[in-house]
Amino acid sequence: MGLANDFAGHVLGRGFFSEGDRILVGVSGGMDSLALLHLLRFSPGLPATELVVAHLDHRMRPESDADAIWVRGWATAWGLECRLGQAETGLSSEEEARSARYAFFERERKALRARWVLTGHHADDQAETILFRIVRGTGLHGLEGIPEKRAPGILRPLLPFTRDRLSEYVDGAGIRPRVDTSNEDPRFARNIIRNEILPRLESAVAPGARRSLLRLGRIARREETAWKSILEDLVRDLVIEEEDGRIEINRQEFLGHDEAVRARLLRELAARLGATLGEAGTRSALAFTSAGVSGHEHPIAGTVRLVRSFDRLIFCHRSDLGGDQTFDIEGLGDGRGSFLVGGRDWSVTWSLGQGRVSPWVERFSVSGLEFPITLRAWRSGDRMRRPYGSKKLKKIFGEKRVDLEERSRAPVVVDGRERVLWIPGVARSSLLLPGVEDHALMLSVSPVEVRRTDEAVADVP
């Protein structure tokens, strides 16, 4: 029972739990999560906590419903409550499954008023994640790998322990895990890394590749900790004024720092407004800070803008510059209206009927449509359901080769559940598709300054 003692020592040493804490444990039925659940339930010396099992059926495999029965059986055998959930539709990608899983966990955590959601990520998962991020060109933060804790309440207490130790523990405890055949599916990038690339690296290139990747992660975490320890003071010295959605800094003091420090400061300031700066975005923003003319602005991401005003640099949302006004369609019927996105005027007309679609005219099934329908600027983090899965609007704009300035002026159509249904002129969601003969909500959206002779517009009363 060496792992049980080591696990208990790790949990106690880190002070993860207190007596009486309610803890939700994410259990798939596989080896990792069952090992975690057994360790929590039976390791000696742990604080007395209330464990609740949570399992989401992703509906990605025909036999996935049997997994839920399997997990509930283990929970019952060990005297634990089990909360089961099921995806509304079958999920098709790792990203969709992960998003649905964590959304389910968070709903259950809130409902139960649990302190933590625990997952079974271990050291091998960590090594695979770091390698995956390396080949995707990650920065220093990405090299940290999987965080031990993540807001609002995710905790991963198995990260110090390898898959081999967990497997040995499970065998010794007489636990028969559920086999997930999707873990062998080469369509998923992580499976290729786990089953092909890492084993080949260790057998032919570097026998200690996993250990080296974990060491790289530890080094990156130390470096990130060092950066964070000084960033707050650096930002505080630069900021002239800060309020919700707006940060003004001293440009001359900013330019006095080394370029690498300036780049880090830009990413930190953008992040405070909810924007993420990649390598190219950081490079162009840096150029603007030194060469941008007073009164001009530079798009960061979504609605976030960087503006030069004499000796100040201002990070703000476009609406702070007077550039955005939303518009709501409250229900079915005929109507028209106008709104403003990125300083550009737009008009919208709507009716219930039939008609042809175009890049600027769309039809939406009224079945499942939730009002109000809102026309607004896109936001960082907005996603759209496409036929091949959910995708960030940022990626869709990139695929459609919409430049940053046009993105800032592009409206999106969302329903009452904040589901992005349409980017006029760019892309449509795969949600709420009506039949050819069905009556549907017809929307026509166009920039006011552009006169178009689209025949499709004439189809809308």
Higher pLDDT, 160 or 277: 160
> So what's the pLDDT on residue 226?
93
Q: 317 vs 102, which has greater pLDDT?
A: 102
Say if residue 131's pLDDT is above 70.
Answer: yes
Average pLDDT of the segment spanning 49-67: 89
Residue 443 to residue 436: CA distance in whole angstroms: 16
The reported pTM is 0.65
How far apart, in Å, are the Cα atoms of 158 and each of 42, 183, 199, 259? 15, 19, 22, 39
Q: For the residues 345-369, what does the mean pLDDT come to? A: 90
Average pLDDT over residues 390-418: 86
Q: Looking at per-residue confidence, does 380 or 45 come out higher?
A: 45
**pLDDT reading at 323 higher than 70:** no
> In which band, very low, low, confident or very high, does the pLDDT at 404 lie, cut at 50, 70 and 90?
low
Segment among 124-138, 253-267, 343-357 with least mean pLDDT: 343-357
For each of the domains in the chain, give its residue range(s) and CATH number, in order of start. Answer: 2-212 (3.40.50.620), 245-320 (3.30.465.60), 327-458 (no CATH)
- pLDDT: which is higher, 78 or 461: 78
C-alpha pair distances (Å), 384 with each of 80, 103, 329, 420, 429: 38, 17, 20, 5, 6
Q: pLDDT exceeding 70 applies to what percent of the chain?
A: 94
Q: Which tokens sit at 398?
A: 């990139």
The mean-pLDDT minimum among 252-256, 294-298, 457-461 falls in 457-461
pLDDT on residue 451: 37
pLDDT at 186 over 50: yes
Residue 461: pLDDT above 60? no
Is residue 318 predicted with pLDDT exceeding 90?
no
Kindly state the average pLDDT of the residues 355-363. Answer: 91
- Choose the most confident range, by mean pLDDT, from 108-122, 380-394, 425-439: 108-122
Mean pLDDT across the chain: 89
Residue 13: what pLDDT?
96
